[in-house]
Chains A and B, each alone.
Chain A
């Protein structure tokens, strides 16, 4: 066998392996999605969204409490997380973009995006559950907000620095103060990007379980009182999937399907939005 054939064979083998790797990645994706659909679909009924859980052993029931609780907790997270994230990102891309502190905070937020979410759960437990003495929905919202902030900060910063400097200069030339330039020129230019970043951060926290385990905990009753422990879809999935009853498992699959579809939908929408906005 001459060298050329050997090299050609080597080439073929290596490239086939990389195709195989791509196939493995896709295989897992479809395997997981198909499984969630297959198990979850038959348990998606109107009751799932309109009824509260019944004690194990009884027929029927739904997860209305968990859907409502999840929305409330996520809403609290959004109300806290989005303003802080957008304003912080504004500082990093505008006022603080050349300062050492600004760069340092930007790096820290990058790191914080990946800090284990369970650690954030223990932190919020220490500051908001232990002093109060019982689990509460607010703590869950704050935990999710803490996860949200660095995500929003980083995307806001990136999207704002994509706005061309000449636009800002034009506004400065008209005598606009910097805050006006930011709110009326830069924010407008970066609006789609910032919005997408916010969408993706919501998708990110909507699937979080670990930080809710010891903050908002769980509740098998319907509640809108965030001072009480508040149910969430994810913690309910954890509890039901680990539980011994078959209809609990079914409900867990159904909740998993709902949450997966919602998150994948938001992610794809965000991706399309970015593509559409920055298509050139």
Chain B
């Protein structure tokens, strides 16, 4: 690392160099330009928040906060709006997608760091990256035309025949299996977030010092014992950070679920029911909203989604940062 730190902090105070060399006003101009560009991020985030809140004001003042998030009615005809059904859909699909994706992505990360032969490592890495690069609309469309029929014709009837017979648990799989439902949407969502989680978990697994692994092997631990007792505890925070980032993504995913969730504003009791998430509601109804309060309610939903995902992602950043600094 360099010892020379150019005499520039943040402020616009005089720098020594500019004093000495009169042509260096150019440096100031360049610095101001870069500063303005960087500030755009701040301006945009503040701008998004305040303009959404401003648009949502009629709905905020009419429905309040707690009443809005606890009302499940979404009735454009009588102009009664509540976010409960969309919020419920968002949370249920996210939680379900996470519970499918977490074990799979940790498995992938273990495979890539501990098992994969070297010549396969980079191919596997590329494959995971490609899975992350496929646009969400492709996932959504594929879900509608390919996955939904498979789920509706084969998987869901099978689940009803098996788990569906178990008391209590069975009610989760009641109803007619159509394929356009929470289960299909969560499956697609899980495929979408696996690459994010897997690559962060892989990177943090790789941070485990080789010496720690070797000393565990040295006292006779099996490979799995090394992973479970050395690698995973060492990278706990990083993996957790990856999980939370993926959760933030899942909360805000639109197109992958818009095709297969059905946009039904009811609190679904079965995983085979259609539902709605905040994103699906926005995507389907934003261009159709015909009254001011309808529009304002949609903006209100957008504010809630923005704040939810922002806080989630900030928490993830915090976890990952701590990991790097410690």
Chain A residues in the interface with B (C-beta under 8 A)? 7-8, 10-11, 14-15, 17-22, 24-26, 28-29, 31-33, 35-36, 39, 83-92, 94-96, 98-99, 101-102, 105, 107-112, 114-123, 125-127, 130, 146, 149-150, 153, 165-166, 168-169, 172, 177-179, 182-183, 203, 206-210, 213-214, 217, 234, 237-238, 241-242, 249, 252-253, 256, 259-260, 263-264, 267-268, 271
Contacts and interface: CB of A to CB of B under 8 A. Distances in A.
21 contacts: A18-B114, A22-B108, A24-B104, A28-B194, A32-B142, A35-B145, A36-B138, A83-B37, A89-B38, A105-B42, A107-B317, A116-B305, A149-B41, A149-B44, A150-B41, A165-B2, A177-B21, A178-B8, A237-B137, A256-B141, A263-B135
Contact of B222 (A8, A96, A108, A165): A8
A119 B248 contact: no
B62 interface: no
A91 B144 contact: no
* Top 8 closest pairs, chain A to chain B, by CB: A21-B107, A116-B252, A207-B135, A165-B2, A87-B37, A91-B34, A179-B30, A88-B37
A91 B37 contact: yes
Given A17-B107, A26-B127, A126-B51, A249 B145 contact: yes
A119 to B, nearest CB: 5
Chain B interface mostly helix, strand, loop or mixed?
helix
Contact of B299 (A18, A126, A168, A206): A126
B245 interface: yes
Contacts of A123: 47-48, 51-52, 302
A95 B10 contact: yes
Nearest to B190: A28
A26 B126 CA distance: 11
B40 interface: yes
B124 interface: yes
Given A7-B225, A114-B245, A21 B104 contact: yes
A238 to B, nearest CB: 6
Nearest to B245: A114
A139 B106 CA distance: 40
A172 B7 CA distance: 12
Contacts of B255: 209-210, 234, 238
Contacts of B106: 21
Contacts of A271: 126, 129
B317 A88 contact: no
A118 B245 contact: no
B298 A166 contact: no
Interface SS, A side? helix
A267 B41 contact: no
Nearest to A85: B37
Nearest to A154: B41
B181 interface: no
Given A22-B111, A209-B136, A169 B309 contact: no
A15 B223 contact: yes
A88 B40 contact: yes
B52 A241 contact: no
B39 A105 contact: yes
A263 B134 CA distance: 7
Contacts of B251: 116
B243 interface: no
A29 B127 contact: yes
B138 A259 contact: yes
Contacts of A14: 224, 227-228
Contacts of A15: 110, 115, 223-224
Interface stretch (B154-162, B211-219, B278-286): B278-286
A162 B188 CA distance: 37
B108 A18 contact: yes
Interface in B82-125: 103-108, 110-112, 114-116, 124
A92 B10 CA distance: 10
A177 B17 contact: yes
B210 interface: no
Given A18-B115, A26-B127, A122-B286, 14 more contacts: A28-B191, A85-B37, A87-B33, A95-B8, A119-B252, A119-B302, A169-B4, A178-B31, A179-B27, A179-B29, A234-B135, A242-B259, A252-B141, A264-B130
